[in-house]
Amino acid sequence: MNTKTSRAVILITGLIIGIFIVFLPYILTRSWFQNDDFLAELYITDYILKTLSPAMGLFVIYDAVKFYFK
């Protein structure tokens, strides 16, 4: 595999993994935000995970794009 092809494969893989990371909490819980009554600690944890996962996913996408154009 030449360099350009391997970079494209890494870019596509990074994009897929990044998008998967962004939407993973919503896929697992099947809701954007929990409206049920449950412990405050779980609510805070749910909020933190749903806030941090898009940032982590965007970081993975950014790293893949940065590697592709390097």
Place of tokens 């412990």: 39
The structural domain count of the chain equals 1
The phi, psi pair for 35, rounded to 5°, reads -105, 0
Which pTM value belongs to this model? 0.75
Burial 36-67 (b: 16+ CB within 10 A, else e): eeeeeeeeeebeeebeebeeebeebbeebeee
pLDDT interval class at 62 (50, 70, 90): very high
**Domain containing residue 24:** 3-68
Looking at every residue in the chain, the average pLDDT score rounds to: 83
